[in-house]
Structure 1
Amino acid sequence: MDWYKMSFYDATSPIMEQLILFHDYSMLIISSILSMVFFIMIKLMKNNFFSNMILENQKIEMIWTILPTLILTFIAIPSLHLLYTMDELMNPMVTIKIIAHQWFWTYEYNDFNQVEFESYMNPSSIIRFLEVDNSTPIPINCQIRFIITSTDVIHSWTIPSLGIKMDATPGRLNQISIISNKSGSFFGQCSEICGMNHSFMPIMIDSIPIKYFISWIKSFN
């Protein structure tokens, strides 16, 4: 995605693909409603006929009661389906614990021994305010579980292209899962105002083939 684009990031996970489709579906419904309302308003302004004797019209009242209910149903059903899909956790292959600090992140791979590191912003990076000194590798096409918490104030761990946004709350463990279906580096930032250096705690995920992920894990031993 280029800097001048106003649309979403390119989806790099199935959940984000569904979020973009749901957004486009909802905007189509909203645009249709707005177009119809503006059309009726213009027709009423140009209409020269009027009547002071119309007191009720049961047919119109039924339409403007039933039609919004149907529209909300068409929006609510895919919305709830997507919401429950995002919370579904089948059998994660890797669990990563993310601990937020002012103002950096700590990552712990709980399935492996002694795999833990801190991630700070790299001030000399090419991509300003987004690159870090230690990125977070994950295997591609595998379900990854993130357990997120904080040691001080509320932070928010966010990767837009993966469709992830989860608060890091002190004294609480929040859980979210992803499946990355594209390889590459994906960037995000803390999305909760957590202090004066809030904009200096970026997130960088490297989605790599599983054989390279295993080699990276073995390098800690």
Structure 2
Amino acid sequence: MKMSMGQTGRRLLGLAVAGVALVTCGAAFAELGQPAPWEYKLQEAATPVMENITWFHNFLLVLITLITLFVLVLLVLVVVKFNAKANPVPSKTTHNTLIEVAWTLIPVLILVALVVPSFRLLFLELDVPKADLTVKVTGKQWYWSYAYPDNGKFEFDSLLAQDKQPRLLGVDNEMVVPVNKIVRIQTTGADVIHSFAVPSFGIKIDSVPGRLNETWFKATKIGMFYGQCSELCGKDHAFMPIVVRVVSDQDFVAWVETAKKKFATNPANSFASAGAAAAQ
């Protein structure tokens, strides 16, 4: 049955209102440290590195937009001013010193404007400062193991928990770190290449078997922050999330004492988790 123009218009209006409501609800219920429905931007920064990444990202968007508009203006100008009707006798100009200097110098200035903040950001990411805490992260098929060599050398596994929210991101044991402390991450792989990535922290580093890679972060906000393995590592690659719980100094000290007892009382913790992962 054909719909009238009025019915079609009302249906389109209803779909538009529903879409706006969905985006609004997604933004309203989105939490810090995890992806949001209909997200079109980077996750909110929770570390100085991520704040710099966000600034550089926005700077690039502005620069690219200005260049695109400039090129569009030139194209329109050429179409309007230099078409056959407006110029029945075409120009035979073969050389213009000013234009050639401009199209050489301007791109060089643009590249310099990109290179300086880019190198600063790379230096900030790669130069690991003196750490307050070291966490060794080992990627395994298909879960993560965390060790705290500075806090009693205990180790535990972190597996996907099907009954926890957010869906496919909740785990049984989170990695816990104190707020406003420099955390050094040392990561390796136990079997194949994995990748430890937490978007809100601005970190992503490969966990390579036989190699120890380093990165760092300084979480400035308390809360739960989520990431995932970002290197294709096998059939359950999509089911090995990363959860970092940032707490106060007092809560971290209390958690360390609890973790020492919890994981020390079960020496076979890693083997039990491996068996659970294999059974999934």
Q: TM-score range by the shorter chain?
A: over 0.9
Q: Secondary structure at the match of 2:188?
A: strand
| Among candidates 215, 218, 221, match of residue 257 of structure 2 | 218
Moved more, 44-53 or 135-144: 44-53
| Among candidates 73, 77, 87, match of residue 39 of structure 1 | 73
Gaps of 5+ in 2: 1-29, 31-35, 262-280
Please report how far the alpha carbon of residue 36 of structure 1 lies from its aligned counterpart in structure 2 after TM superposition.
0.3
Structure 2 CA distance for aligned equivalents of residues 151 and 44 of structure 1: 60
Structure 2 CA distance for aligned equivalents of residues 114 and 33 of structure 1: 53
Whether 1:121 and 2:155 are equivalent positions in the alignment is: no
Structure 2 CA distance for aligned equivalents of residues 31 and 147 of structure 1: 39
Percent identical pairs in the alignment equals 34
Give the AA of the match of 1:105. Answer: W
Give the AA of the match of 1:63. Answer: A
| Among candidates 207, 211, 214, match of residue 168 of structure 1 | 207
Mapping of 1:122-161 within 5 angstroms? Answer: 122-161=161-200
Mapping of 1:1-221 within 5 angstroms? Answer: 1=30, 2-47=36-81, 48-49=86-87, 51-219=90-258, 220-221=260-261
Structure 1 CA distance for aligned equivalents of residues 129 and 230 of structure 2: 27
Q: Secondary structure at the match of 1:98?
A: strand
- TM-score, normalization by structure 2: 0.77
- Structure 1 segments, 4+ long, off by >2 Å, are 48-52
Give the AA of the match of 1:39. Answer: V
Please report how far the alpha carbon of residue 124 of structure 1 lies from its aligned counterpart in structure 2 after TM superposition.
1.5
Gaps of 5+ in 1: none
Contact 1:146 1:177 in 2 (8 A): yes
Contact 1:115 1:217 in 2 (8 A): no
Please report how far the alpha carbon of residue 46 of structure 1 lies from its aligned counterpart in structure 2 after TM superposition.
1.2
Please report how far the alpha carbon of residue 114 of structure 1 lies from its aligned counterpart in structure 2 after TM superposition.
4.1
Structure 2 CA distance for aligned equivalents of residues 75 and 114 of structure 1: 43
- TM-score, normalization by structure 1: 0.97
Structure 2 CA distance for aligned equivalents of residues 112 and 135 of structure 1: 16
Structure 1 CA distance for aligned equivalents of residues 78 and 218 of structure 2: 52
* Aligned CA-pair RMSD: 1.1
Structure 1 CA distance for aligned equivalents of residues 255 and 208 of structure 2: 29
Structure 1 CA distance for aligned equivalents of residues 158 and 39 of structure 2: 29
Please report how far the alpha carbon of residue 126 of structure 1 lies from its aligned counterpart in structure 2 after TM superposition.
2.2
Q: Secondary structure at the match of 1:23?
A: helix
Provide closer, same or farther for how the CA distance between residues 81 and 114 of structure 1 changes in structure 2, counting only shifts above 3 A.
closer
> How many residue pairs end up in the alignment?
221
Please report how far the alpha carbon of residue 215 of structure 1 lies from its aligned counterpart in structure 2 after TM superposition.
0.8
Larger relative contact order (Cα-Cα within 8 Å, sequence gap ≥ 6):
1
Structure 1 CA distance for aligned equivalents of residues 73 and 153 of structure 2: 65
Contact 1:104 1:120 in 2 (8 A): yes
Contact 1:148 1:174 in 2 (8 A): yes
Structure 2 CA distance for aligned equivalents of residues 41 and 186 of structure 1: 46
Structure 2 CA distance for aligned equivalents of residues 80 and 8 of structure 1: 20
